[in-house]
Amino acid sequence: MNPEDFQISSPDELRDRLVYLVDTLSGSMSRAELARRIGMDPSNLSKHLTGKLPVSRALLNRFIVEMGVSRRWLLNGHGLPFEKPEAVVAFEADGVKETPRGLPVYDIDVTAGCKPLERLLTADRITGYVDLPRLNPDCVLVRVNGDSMEPAVIDGGFIAIRPVRSGSTIFWGQMYVVVMEDYRMVKYLRRHPEDANMVVLHSANPNYDDIDINRSEIQSLFLVEGVINFRNLC
C-alpha cells in the first residue's frame, strides 16, 4: 500500500469531501434520510457540513461503515468514493489461484444518463481487466459513445479516468469527464476568454460548437489519463 494512504487530510479537505459525498448521494436520498442511515440527527449532520461542528473520526467511520464509502478516499482523497472491490478469483488450476490484474473495465457509457458516475462503478458492472503500464492504478476504464471527441476518442472507444478532488486545479486544455445535473460529457476544458466564472467545453470534432457553462454547474470532474481506441473489424 502507498504510504500516502495512511495520511489524513486537513479538516477543511475532509469537510469538502463530505459535502461532495452528500451532494452526490442527494440524487438517491434526501439529506434527512442520509442522516438517519448513518444514525445521526439531520440538524447535527448539517452542522458538521457547514463547519459549526468539527469533522470527527467517529463521523467519518459512520460514512465508511454505514454507506460503504472508501476509507482511503474519505481520509486522503485517493481513489474513488465507492472503491472498487479487491480483484476476485478468475480461475483455479492445479491448486494455483489466479486473480485479474490491471484496471477494471466497466460496462458503462460515460456519456449516457445523468446519475452520479461514482454510484455506477459497482462490481456487477465490471466486464474485465486491462493491464496498462504507467497508468494511475486509481483509474478505471469506461466506454465513450458518440463522435464529438473524434479523432481523439472514437465512437465506442475507452478512456481511463480518475476522480478529481474537490478544489483541485483544473489543467486547462486537458480532457475531462464533466458531470452536470442532467448531462455527462467528455470534453476538453478551456478558460473562458471573458468570464472567470465560466468554462468552455471544447470538442475534438470540429463539427461541434464550443459550450460555455458556469463553473457552478459542474457537479464533479474526472480527469482522462488515457485513451484506448479500437474498431471491431469482424
Beta-bridge partners for 97: 92
Give 134-176 pLDDT, tens digit per residue.
788 888 999 998 899 999 999 989 999 988 875 567 899 999 9
**Class (C level, CATH) for 3-76:** mainly alpha
Residue 83: which of 67, 95, 96, 99 has the closest Cα?
67
Give 185-229 pLDDT, tens digit per residue.
999 999 999 999 999 999 999 999 999 999 988 888 999 999 998
User: For residues 195 and 217, what is the distance between their CA atoms, to the nearest angstrom?
Assistant: 15
Beta-bridge partners for 177: 186, 222
User: For residues 215 and 117, what is the distance between their CA atoms, to the nearest angstrom?
Assistant: 18
Handedness of CA 153, 159, 165, 171 (dihedral sign): negative
> What is the maximum alpha-carbon separation in the chain?
66
Residues of the chain with CATH 2.10.109.10: 101-228
Residues of the chain with CATH 1.10.260: 3-76
**Class (C level, CATH) for 101-228:** mainly beta
Between 119 and 100, where is the model more confident? 119
